[in-house]
Structure 1
Amino acid sequence: MKQTASFSRTRLGLRMALSALYTVAGVMHILRPHGFELIVPGWVPYPHQVVVATGVAELLGAAGLWIAPVRPWAAVGLAAYAVAVYPANIKHAVDHVVIDGVALGWAYHLPRLLFQPVLVWAPLFSGGVVNWPSRRAA
């Protein structure tokens, strides 16, 4: 089925937002990794290298959302990334990790943890991998 203009604009807007979000996050992971290293679960080896690699992955995903032939792959990669970093988000919340003297409370952590499924869905939708909640076929 042909997409409506509104449907296409929604995907484009979401792609723009995700690209900006992941570009900023990727740069921060690379330039200021210390705060991210603090929330890496203890069972993850080489926290510094993992944080830098996640920054590179975020930048590649953000760029890939704009390259039509690789867009679906970038979308799946960003969705998988959102799943992979969830343990760090849980550790940040449960262990009350203080980063640069700032302790974020449950008013931040609870919505952040509950919003994670949206961060899995959003790249898949904006990248054209899924059409949900639309009833249109992918």
Structure 2
Amino acid sequence: MTTPAPTLSKDIAGLAALFLTSGVTHLVRPGVFEPLVPRALPTPRGLVYASGVAEILCAAGLLHPRTRRWAGWGSAVLLVAVYPGNVQMSLNHARRAARRQDTPSRAAFAGTLARLPLQLPLIRTALRAAGRA
């Protein structure tokens, strides 16, 4: 007997919407994300496209009860995998803020810093979708 999939709560639906929006943006504007790919990794554009497709697949999987459990696991793994890119985004904004010394640059940097700990509730939501949290 299989365990029923976790219900589609507002937070799981929100995670799916976030992934769908981000995934489409990765495919439509890949140049925005290329500077976030660590230099040691090959083919930044290909990795941006791959992560965009993965986000869209996770979004679709989270919405359907039969695939929600696997999509939850995939979403958690994806969120951990892209975390270095989020750190890189903060570092990029820190350099820009130090160089420009203006309020918009500092605000953007502060926003990227505030975003880093928000990955934890997203991962928790993904694990809940997987039936593990």
Q: Match of 1:124, as an amino acid?
A: L
Aligned to 1:44, the other structure's residue is in SS state coil
User: Which residue is 1:129 aligned to?
Assistant: 131
| Number of the residue aligned with 2:99 | none
Give 3-state SS (helix, strand or coil) of 1:41's partner. Answer: coil
Structure 2 contact 16–62 (Cα < 8 Å) conserved: yes
Question: How far apart are the structure 1 equivalents of 2:57 and 2:42?
Answer: 22
CA distance in 2, matches of 1:32, 1:87: 20
What is the match of residue 114 of structure 1?
A: 117
**Cα deviation digits, residues 97-124 of structure 1 (max 9, x gap):** 76xxx84633212211111111211111
Q: Which runs of 4+ in 1 moved over 6 A?
A: none
1:128 Cα deviation (Å)? 4.4
Measure how far apart 1:12 and its partner are.
Answer: 1.3
1:135 aligns with: none
Normalising to structure 2: TM-score of the pair? Answer: 0.80
Instruction: Sort the Cα spacing of 1:50 and 1:107 in 2 relative to 1 into closer, same or farther, 3 A.
Output: same
Unaligned runs of at least 5 residues, structure 1:
1-6, 132-138
2:57 is matched with: 60
Task: Tell me which residue corresponds to 1:40.
Answer: 37
Structure with more of its chain in helix, by fraction: 2
Question: Is 1:29 the counterpart of 2:32 in the alignment?
Answer: no
Unaligned runs of 5+ in 2: 1-5, 97-103
* Counterpart code for 2:86: N
Q: Report the Cα distance in structure 1 between the residues aligned to 2:9 and 2:35, rounded to whole angstroms.
A: 34
Q: Quick one: percent identity of the two aligned structures?
A: 37
Residue of structure 1 aligned with 2:71, choices 52, 65, 74: 74
- TM-score normalised by structure 1 residue count: 0.77
Aligned equivalents of 2:112, 2:29: Cα separation in 1: 21
